[in-house]
Amino acid sequence: MSVTETCFVSHLEGAIDGARLEPQRIHTLHEGRPIWVRYDLDSIRHAVTKNDLVGRPPNIWRYKELLPVFDMSKLVSFGEGMSPLLNSPRLGTSLGIEDLWIKDESQLPTGSFKSRGMAMAVTMANHFGITSVALPTAGNAGGAAAAYAARAGMTCHVFMPEDTPMINQYEAMAYGANAYRVNGLINDCGRIVNEGKEIKGWFDLSTLKEPYRIEGKKTMGLELAEQFDWQLPDAIFYPTGGGTGLIGMWKAFQELKTLGWLESDKLPRMYSVQSSGCAPIVEAFDNDEKHATPYSNAHSIASGIRVPAAVGDFMILDAVRQSGGKAIRVEESRIGEWMRLGMSREGISICPETGACIGAVEACLENGTVSETDRVVIYNTGAAQKYAEALACEMPSIDKDLPIDWSSI
Ligand SMILES: *Cc1c(COP(=O)(O)O)cnc(C)c1O
């Protein structure tokens, strides 16, 4: 059956200069910077209401009018999305926040929210007839890309620095990618992918280097609005690497506001969280700069936010500033402690990146940036079990050997 959906994409737009670009062709970067997807929001307003969403399946495609879905038969999907929004009263009490929520992305396919972006990017690659994709990664993106490529029958090439978490290395390989460990840093991996584009014709799925991963990650914001009955919270804490999720959510909120779907025009303050081991966005924010300076000697157990240079740096900074939020650096050596605090209080599988966010909420409450009555949402972007090395290093040792001394229990 050939199904032609109504797609509401009006055009694409260079983020650095506002140039209007044609939608129906393959795009990468424009002037070396990312590209926005723009919609005809007036037509969407007439075509669909938020009540129309109610009966749709609980996955990202329920928002298809707000996504670049040209052909539903080309979807590459595991049914990702509608992650639970969990109230977190015990962690809230520990931190001193009365109305704390965790949006739990650890339950998505491949154990992280990377699946949202990859579902959309690989769907679009499939739409354009691309058969071979590649990317550099030091974390969850490689596994997600490999899984979606497998589902689409594409070839996938993944290049990872040697310090990439073990599980990320093996999952990429197990999902059938040509996975390579590179003796170098993430930018060396990026260089290899660039060469492969020229020599082998690979399509580059790197963060923000094609226009559609943002759109997939935007669904985190659309879901949050729907789950809170179209009333957005006061503050969102988001662990920031390349920034796709933060940029995407802020875009979602603007689109919902323009559509008139929100109960109130007040948008959340966006807090971009990084580790003291790698905080380029925080430095640029503190110094009032438009772009970030590449961070040297970047290190963090939170591999998803160990991104020394982000091609969309100005888009992250714009979103944070427009929202009245901040970029916040937390102490790398305490990430494991915060991760365990979240896991033990709420039973949620918290990744190190989100551990950093828990630390940021604590700091913001202490210095008055956030008040105890604010409705605060933390994004748990991935599952703890993907970080075997971090767990082994950061958790207390398990030393209660048998035979049990009952008096110690
Ligand atoms: C990739 C990743 C991040 C950072 O995501 P961006 O949206 O690119 O900033 C945060 N947490 C986890 C677990 C990740 O895999």
What digits encode the pLDDT tens for the residues 265-317? 999 999 999 999 999 999 999 999 999 999 999 999 999 999 999 999 999 99
Q: Taking phi first (over 0 means left), then psi (-120 to 50 degrees means alpha), and beta for anything else, what does residue 297 get?
A: left
Render 254-316 in DSSP notation, one character per residue: HHHHHHT--S-SPPPEEEEEEETTB-HHHHHHHTT-SSPPPPTT---S-GGG--S--TTHHHH
Cα of 307 to ligand 1 centre, how many Å?
9
* C-alpha to C-alpha distance for 152 and 148, rounded to whole angstroms: 6
Confidence of residue 125 (pLDDT cuts 50, 70, 90): very high
Please say whether the beta carbons of 232 and 163 come within 8 A: no
Comparing CA positions, the residue from 183, 140, 179 lying closest to residue 158 is 179
Which residues approach ligand 1 with their CB closer than 6 A? 112, 114, 139-140, 207, 239-245, 304-305, 351, 353, 381-382
CATH number (domain holding residue 255) = 3.40.50.1100
The answer to the question of residue 124 being in a domain is no
The answer to the question of residue 56 being in a domain is no
Peptide bond before 352: cis, by omega within 30 degrees of 0?
A: no
The predicted model scores a pTM of 0.96
The answer to the question of residue 123 being in a domain is no
- Which residue has the CA at smallest separation from atom 3 of ligand 1? 304
The answer to the question of residue 371 being in a domain is yes
The letter for the amino acid at 146 is: A
What digits encode the pLDDT tens for the residues 339-373? 999 999 999 999 999 999 999 999 999 999 999 99
The pLDDT of residue 2 is: 41
The answer to the question of residue 218 being in a domain is yes
What digits encode the pLDDT tens for the residues 234-252? 999 999 999 999 999 999 9
For helices 212-227 and 114-127, angle between their N-to-C axes, nearest 10 degrees: 130
What digits encode the pLDDT tens for the residues 141-155? 999 999 999 999 999
Which region among 2-6, 173-177, 315-319 has the lowest average model confidence (pLDDT)? Answer: 2-6
**pLDDT > 70? residue 1:** no
Domain interval for residue 276: 85-111+213-390
The answer to the question of residue 375 being in a domain is yes
**pLDDT > 80? residue 403:** no
- Which residue has the CA at smallest separation from atom 4 of ligand 1? 241
The pLDDT of residue 408 is: 72
Question: What is the total count of domains within the chain?
Answer: 1
The answer to the question of residue 354 being in a domain is yes
Tokens (6 digits) for 230:
């179209």
The answer to the question of residue 181 being in a domain is no
